[in-house]
Amino acid sequence: MRNPDDRRLTRRLSIEHTASPQRREPAPPRKIGFVPACAGAGATTLCLAAAEWRRAHMAGAAGTAHAAGTAGAANPKGSRSAALIHSAKGIAAAKPPAETITVLELAAAGDAPAGYPFDKLGCDRRFAGRGFASYYRLAKDGKPLGGAPLNLSGGVNWALRVPGETDTHPGTAGLVRLLHAVPGDLVLCDVSAALLAADRRTARDILSALDRILCVVDPLPSRLLASAPIVEEVRAAEARGIPVSWAVNKMNAGVNVRELTRFLALKAPVFLPALPPETVTAAEYACQTLAKEPLLAEGLARLPLFP
């Protein structure tokens, strides 16, 4: 006969096992920083394009899933022609994905020597007649950010500086607050090289507030030498536990890949091709990102940024 104490012990162990917390998968990164190793590396161009590329990718995935479900429900016997018809209808009727993508510009105080993303995208034309919310002004004035109006265009919320508003910069603390509170399920941060170069504390505070970093490198030797201070801060952030990926932008046949990777001690960087100047110029004249440029879209798909 079994000892009653054994039964009590078995029951207690069963309860403890059941009550033990389940292991949770880590949440996907919400705040992804596009960090230039030096000014002019192309982080802004990549950030703006990645937002619209991600939006199109998510919309396509939602459409495909919706189409597959519709085809399966309406075509239980598996008629191929009927499935194709329902698939086409499903894609056309698919709702946009629920994920809200925000591009947040994290800039230093003062003017933007390389131009404002606001102007690159032609936001004065995109938002003509409907206004553009200044997140910088809201942050500086200490107003709530969670319910701020969305500057939606192309399925993306553009939280950008407004040219001419030179008195609205909220300071480093305000930028960190903005970074944490800006609306959006996925926030792609266009981080200014000038902001990180301001001082080490600013760089540490901004980089520490990110969930993931993509450091964008310009392969020109003079630019590599100029990249040392920001690369050092990015590696320090990585040592603090923030995941870091590396992208070498503007790749061309003249780049000595072995020398570049040796100099920066890079492991498995993603190489992104130099785009023809006329392609970049035409996109800006059209007030568009480069999300639809095949060479860049292929490179964005290889970046280990999104789940």
Answer whether residue 41 shows pLDDT above 90: yes
Between CA 71 and CA 229 the distance in angstroms is 55
For residue 166, pLDDT beyond 50: yes
In degrees, to the nearest 5, what angle opens at C-alpha 163 toward C-alphas 162 and 167? Answer: 80
* 92 within domain boundaries: no
Confidence of residue 71 (pLDDT cuts 50, 70, 90): very low
268 — pLDDT class (breaks 50, 70, 90): confident
Q: Exposed, middle or buried by CB within 10 Å (0-12, 13-18, 19+), for 285?
A: exposed
Tell me, what's the pLDDT at 136?
92
Sorting pLDDT into bands at 50, 70 and 90, what band is 145? confident
pLDDT higher than 90, residue 115 = no
In this structure, the strands spanning 152-153 and 156-159 are antiparallel
- The answer to whether the Cα torsion of 68, 293, 33, 55 is positive or negative is negative
Q: Are 153 and 127 in contact (CB under 8 A)?
A: yes
CA 215 to CA 154: how far, in whole Å? 25
Quick check: 172 and 135 in contact, CB under 8 A? no
pLDDT of residue 167: 84
Could you tell me if residue 178 is inside a domain?
Answer: yes
Look at residue 90 and tell me if it is in a domain: no
Residue 73 maps to a domain? no
Measuring CA to CA, how many Å separate 264 from each of 90, 140, 218, 234, 246? 48, 37, 11, 12, 10
* H-run or E-run covering 190: strand 186-191
Distance set, CA 134 to CA 104, 190, 193, 296 (Å): 11, 16, 22, 30
Kindly indicate the confidence band of residue 57, based on its pLDDT and cuts at 50, 70 and 90.
confident
User: Can you list the alpha helix ranges (DSSP code H) found in 116-266?
Assistant: 117-120, 123-126, 135-140, 171-181, 193-197, 200-208, 221-226, 228-239, 257-264
* 91 within some domain: no
Q: Is residue 81 part of a domain?
A: no
- pLDDT at 255 > cutoff 80: yes
**Nearest to residue 202, comparing CAs of 169, 176, 241, 170?**
176
The pTM of this model reads 0.80
55-64, 126-135, 249-258, 280-289: which range is least confident on average? 55-64
Is 49 a residue whose pLDDT tops 70?
yes
| pLDDT score for 294 | 94
Terminus-to-terminus CA distance in the chain, angstroms? 55
Tally of structural domains, the chain: 1
- Residue bearing the bigger pLDDT, 257 or 13: 257
- pLDDT of 190-234, one tens digit each? 999 999 998 899 999 999 999 999 999 999 999 999 999 999 999
Range of the domain at 43: 29-62+99-301
Q: What percent of the chain has pLDDT over 70?
A: 76
77 pLDDT higher than 90: no
**What number of other Cβ atoms are within 10 A of residue 20's Cβ?**
8
CA atoms within 13 A on the CB side of 249: 25
- Tell me whether residue 5 is in a domain: no
In one letter, which amino acid is 210? L
Q: Is residue 89 part of a domain?
A: no
Q: State the CATH number of the domain containing residue 45.
A: 3.40.50.300
Instruction: Report percent pLDDT > 90 for the chain.
Output: 63
* Residue with more model confidence, 140 or 82: 140
Weakest mean pLDDT among 76-80, 149-153, 154-158, 237-241: 76-80
Per residue in 271-288, pLDDT (tens digit) is: 999 999 999 999 999 999
Report CA-CA distances (Å) from 72 to 13, 19, 75, 91, 264: 45, 39, 5, 14, 51
pLDDT the model gives residue 113: 66
